[in-house]
């Protein structure tokens, strides 16, 4: 019984070894037709990794022939369906460069930008892949303005631009969180200078105004007036664009506080100016009185 089990195991191992050897022999074969048929057979069975390896080896055998672009395309497509998006993107980039007029080119270009999209990173990380993908989408839509993938491209663009907007906004807002209000105001204004249509425009304008108020509030008395007036400008800019907003009440309260601060400061300044003028007049009066007394003393002598 034990002997029979060993025979069964040996048979299974031998069968597996035979199948593997058959694939390896096929992979190293120079018979184009046999390898070509086998590659598509593996592809149809969903064995994309094996299909990709066969198509890759075929590209060296079919170079310059009518089958060349087909092998190149299905090499990339097999890697794509195997979810090896990095290799697939390289395949499709090479394909579209070498075969710009192939019937597979339009789809290869879309699949390449889809690979690029899948390689993009969340907004906190480097956005160079995002910019590269956006450029590829722009070029694709320029060359194929009417295509079956328009909605998918639009969704990608919206998502990728959202990541760029978020990265810019959160990066500038970080200064506010660090309580560096002057740097926050400058950074937030630069975000809108670079991209006026940033999806966080309302939030950015709010934090610009709020940073101005905080900066004025923490300033030395000599600088507060001009800095509260700067906040008033930022407040009016916000209200000019967003008359009703979730931030309206908070900014209105800050505006009222700024007006009180300006009124108190102006009243205090006016009082000091009056006191200074009175002191000056009193000094002049005392000086004139002393002069008059001296004159009377001289006359009496």
* Whether residue 185 sits in one domain with residue 249: yes
d(CA 128, CA 113): 14
User: Residue 266 pLDDT more than 60?
Assistant: no
As a whole-number percent, the residues of the chain with pLDDT over 70 amount to 82
- Based on the domain organization, do 159 and 207 belong to the same domain? no
* Residue 83: inside a domain: yes
- My answer on whether 140 and 83 are in the same domain is no
CA–CA separation, 142 vs 283, rounded Å?
82
Domain check: are 100 and 63 in the same one? Answer: yes
CB environment 281-294: b (16+ within 10 A), e (fewer): eeeeeeeeeeeeee
Q: Average pLDDT of 124-144?
A: 97
Q: Which CATH number is 97's domain given?
A: 1.25.40.10
Q: What per-residue confidence (pLDDT) applies to 264?
A: 85
Question: Residue 10 — very low, low, confident or very high, per pLDDT cuts 50/70/90?
Answer: very low
Does the residue 300 lie in any domain? no
Q: What is the pTM of this model?
A: 0.77
Q: Which residues contact 121 (CB under 8 A, 6 or more apart)?
A: 127, 129, 130
The per-residue pLDDT for range 48-85, each reduced to its tens digit, is: 999 999 999 999 999 989 999 999 999 999 999 999 99
Structural domains counted in the chain:
3
Encoding tokens for residue 102? 């192939």
**Domain final residue, candidates 155, 178, 201:** 178
- 195 in a structural domain: yes
Residues 52 and 69 in one domain: yes
Length of the chain: 301
Q: Looking at the structure, do residues 187 and 147 belong to the same domain, yes or no?
A: no
Domain boundary (75, 105, 135) is at 105
Do 170 and 185 reside in the same domain of the chain? no
Q: Which pLDDT score is estimated for 299? A: 61
Over residues 26-41, the mean pLDDT reads 92
In a domain, 299, yes or no: no
Domain identity same for 250 and 216: yes
Cα dihedral 247, 172, 157, 76, rounded to 10, equals -150
Which residue, among 201, 204, 224, 205, has the nearest Cα to 214 in the 3D structure? 224
7 falls within a domain? no
Q: Which domain holds residue 223?
A: 180-294
Domain check: are 287 and 215 in the same one? yes
């Amino acid at each position: 019984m034990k002997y029979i089990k060993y025979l069964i195991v040996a048979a299974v191992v031998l069968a597996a070894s035979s199948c593997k050897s058959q694939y390896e022999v096929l992979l190293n074969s120079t018979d184009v037709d046999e390898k070509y048929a086998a590659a598509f057979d593996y592809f149809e069975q969903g064995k994309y990794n094996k299909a990709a390896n066969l198509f890759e080896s075929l590209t060296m055998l079919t170079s310059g022939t009518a089958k060349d672009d087909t092998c190149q395309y299905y090499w990339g497509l097999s890697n794509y369906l195997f979810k090896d998006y990095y290799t697939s993107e390289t395949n499709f980039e090479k394909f579209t460069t070498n075969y710009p007029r192939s019937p597979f080119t339009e789809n290869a270009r879309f699949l390449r930008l889809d690979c690029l999209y899948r390689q993009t990173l969340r907004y906190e990380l480097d956005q160079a892949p995002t910019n590269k993908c956006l450029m590829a989408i722009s070029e694709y839509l320029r060359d194929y303005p009417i295509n079956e993938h328009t909605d998918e491209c639009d969704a990608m663009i919206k998502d990728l631009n959202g990541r760029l907007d978020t990265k810019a906004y959160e990066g500038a807002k970080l200064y506010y969180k660090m309580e560096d209000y002057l740097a926050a105001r400058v950074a937030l204004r630069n975000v809108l200078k670079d991209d006026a249509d940033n999806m966080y425009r309302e939030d950015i304008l709010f934090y610009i105004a709020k940073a101005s108020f905080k900066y004025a509030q923490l300033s030395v008395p000599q600088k507060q007036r001009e800095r509260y007036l700067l906040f008033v400008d930022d407040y009016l800019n916000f209200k000019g664009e967003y008359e009703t907003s979730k931030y309206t009440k908070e900014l209105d309260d800050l505006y009222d506080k700024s007006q009180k601060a300006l009124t108190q400061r102006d009243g205090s300044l006016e009082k000091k100016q009056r006191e200074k003028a009175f002191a000056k007049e009193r000094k002049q009066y005392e000086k004139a009185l002393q002069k008059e007394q001296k004159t009377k003393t001289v006359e009496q002598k």
